[in-house]
Structure 1
């Protein structure tokens, strides 16, 4: 179960924080939160925390059964999730923010402009990160293996640097995860098919950055 961010988190925190954002924080963003947490744990990525919030969330609202079922289908744990409203401190206290749609990224950056450097839609990040190599992550590999948060911040910077170099999405909404709220099971299924492959790219890149060794083998 998520707990609140500390608004005064020091800049050099050893914990790397991911925030996922949608509208109500009861379907897409909690599923992304739960799935990313589960998969990163499986890859042994430590010193990392994943939370979620919603731009129009009603604090304490639970995930609808369809959203819970979708999370379980992909091996995530929806138990205990309570929606929370997005505040500036949540964004300022994060190292990587994923909007489920472009409107959520816009809201995040409007709330805290410095977040433009580390905010993406989930599918945008996957598009930018597709094809990232160990060479692209050299900045992460140069840091000590014990500095997981530093390595992951370097990976985020490497992906962000590909903006303008990687082809844009064929259609603008290809960077969004469809909102299934109050729609039928087929839309929830489509939401999962869009979200999970993108999240898998995130996990691959972050896990690689956490584990890479420098060419000399010295840390």
Structure 2
């Protein structure tokens, strides 16, 4: 299970290593903290999404039943603006981050390349990288637990059904075919194809119906 969570650590470190490839030519001692800022922008995005969802719910509940054709257009515009607020918050944080790190580069081309890279990591992909990874890890854990429980259930069923061992069958004079089965604790019982239950006291030589 810990190996799954190690994936988050690998991605966290990998993002920092990727950023350092942009900077170490000019600053060999630079240590990246981009992953930390991606986590920050993820929290900002989640918080902004939660707040805007609450605002949309409040606005719709207040205006429910009091909508006119003129107000509908304004409400749609306001709702559209609320939808993009989380993205705008991420963009604002990206600009803040970029202004603090552009000093690392001396040429315009390097600054543009670094700006595009950090834009992708902070404003576009950043808010979804770690939530998606966490969701995948939790999903894999849930699948593993489900498979384990399924194996336990199948084992119990196999024990009730004789543990998967070769079953003895007996043909009776009345035409019924009796199958020997074992219970959970190894006790033997006999069932006929007709659905009747039988018992024997001589190891299957003779049967009597219960």
TM-score normalised by L of structure 1: 0.21
User: Higher Cα Rg: structure 1 or 2?
Assistant: 2
The structure in which a higher percent of residues are helix is 2
Q: Which has the higher contact order (CA 8 A, sep 6+)?
A: 1
TM-score normalised by L of structure 2: 0.21
